[in-house]
Amino acid sequence: MVNSEYVLRAATADDHDRFVSLFATAMMFESTPTDLDRELFEPERALLAVDGDKLVGTAKAMSRDLSVPGAVVPAAHVTAVGVRATHRRRGILSSLMSRQLREVPEALAVLWASEPGIYGRFGYAPAVWGVSYEVDLRKVGPHPVHRGAGRIEELPAEDAPAQLAPMLRELQTKRPGVSGRSEQVWRKQLQDEPENRGGKTARQILVHRDEAGGLDGYALWRGKLVWGPGGPSNEVTVEELVALDPTAYHALWHHLLTLDLAAKLEYGHAALDEPLQQLVSNPIALNRRLTESLWVRLTDVSRALAQRRYASSVDVVVEVSDDLIEDNNGRFHLTGDTEHATCERTESTPDLSLSVGELSATYLGGRPLAEFAATGRVTEHTPGALSVTTAALRWPAAPASIEIF
C-alpha cells in the first residue's frame, strides 16, 4: 500500500497501453504502442500505483544482462518510472521504487536518471561517466587510415540484428557497463519510423570487415541537411559505434569524420577513456562534455560482489549499511582476483565501513573507492585496506553504457 487511497500492484498484459500512456504523459512525450512493445512488455516486472480505477504511477524492470568487470551478469534494467502530475508529492514514487528494489531477483539494478536528484535516496549511484561529443568536422583533423585496414560496407536493416548481435556480445567481454540485447530488443533498437527521426535521414548501418572478410565493427548514424550562408553544413548523429579491433575503430571513425558536406558530428555515448582523441590532430575540436550515464544499485551485496572479478588480489571485510534492503546490512568477507571471487557474511572486525551507495558507485570499476573516503563516506579501520580495495575494484577499461533504455 502507498496509503489508504492508493494501491500498488503488479501489472497484467492488459495494462500495457495504459501503462505506456501514463508514463509518456508524465515525461511529456507522445507514444503510440506497437505490437513489438507489447511483446517486450513483462507485466510481472511492471508495477502500478492505482487510485480507484485510475493508474497514477508506473515503474518497470526489464530482464537483460550487463557486462561487469570480468563477467556478464543478469541486471534489472529499470525504466518507465513516472507519476501522474495530479498525484505528485504523495509518496507514490518512493513506494514504487522501494517495492521494486526488494522484489528484483537480480543482484543489481541499473537505470538512466532523467532527474538525478531522485535516485540517490534509494541507494542508486552514478557508476559510469559518459562523454558527449559535438565535433567541429572542419577543424578536427582526422588522421588517415593506413592501407590494409579492411573495408566498410552498408548493411541492410533487415540483416542487421543477426549480423550486429555477436559484435555487441563480444564488446561485453571487453568493457563493463554494456547492456545485452535479445533478438526482440535488437528489433526494437533498430526500429526506424519516419515520424521518430526528428528531421534526420533514415538510419544508416555501416559494418567493417577485416582483411579476411570477418565483421569486427559497426556504426549506426543519421544525417541532417543544414544549409548555411556558405553552402551545405550538414550534421551527422552517431547513435552507436562498436569496434572490436583498433583497425576497425579507426576506419569507422575516419569514415564518419570525413563525410562530404558535413560540418558537425554528435555522439553521446563515448567512454571516459574513449580512444577517439588519439585519432585526430585537434582534440579540442571534439568539444567533449562529461555527463553521468548509468546508475547502479546493488540489491544483493554478497552475490553482486562475488559475480564480478577484481583487477588485483583483495581480501577484506567490509561493513555495509542499507536503509532499504535489510539483508544488505552487515559485514561481508570479500576475497577475489582476476579469476574468481567469493563474498560471505562474517562477524569479523571490519576493515572498511560504507553504505550500499558507495559500493554501487564503484561496482563497475569506473570510480575509485578512495574518492568517497575523501568526504567521509568510506571509513578505513585497517590501515592500507582502502588503497588495496580501491585498486582491486578498478578495471583497466572504463565502463560505458552505449544506449538509453
- pLDDT(1) > 60: no
pLDDT (0 to 100) of residue 129? 96
Whole-number pLDDT of residue 4: 57
Q: CA quadruple 111, 372, 397, 288: dihedral positive or negative? A: positive
The answer to whether 207 and 163 have CB atoms below 8 angstroms apart is yes
Q: What is the mean pLDDT of residues 269-279?
A: 98
pTM tops 0.85? yes
Give the pLDDT band (50/70/90) at residue 400. Answer: very high
pLDDT mean over 25-38: 93
pLDDT surpassing 50 at residue 346: yes
Q: Which three cell numbers stand for residue 375?
A: 568526504
Cα–Cα distance measured from residue 178 to residue 242, given in angstroms and rounded to the nearest whole number: 11
- Count of residues for the chain? 405
- Mean pLDDT within 372-395: 98
Spatial distance between the Cα atoms of 34 and 182, rounded to a whole number of angstroms: 18
Q: Work out the pLDDT band at 205, boundaries 50, 70, 90.
A: very high
Residue 233, classified by CB atoms within 10 Å of its CB into exposed (0-12), middle (13-18) or buried (19+), is middle
pLDDT range class, residue 241, cuts 50, 70, 90: very high
The residues assigned a catalytic role are: 119, 405
Nearest Cα neighbor of 39 from 16, 65, 58, 72 is 16
pLDDT score recorded for residue 148: 82
Q: 31 CB contacts (<8 Å, ≥6 apart)?
A: 20, 21, 23, 24
**The pLDDT value given to residue 149:** 82
CB 240 within 8 A of CB 401: no
pLDDT tens column, 217-238: 999 999 999 998 989 999 999 9
Model pLDDT, residue 2: 47
Q: What is the mean pLDDT of the chain?
A: 96
* pLDDT value for 3: 53
Q: What is the pLDDT of residues 129-153, one digit of tens each?
A: 999 999 999 999 999 998 888 999 9
Provide CB contacts within 8 A for 246, sequence distance 6+: 275
Task: Give the model confidence (pLDDT) of 181-196 as tens digits.
Answer: 999 999 999 999 999 9
Distance of CA 357 to the CA centre of its chain: 17
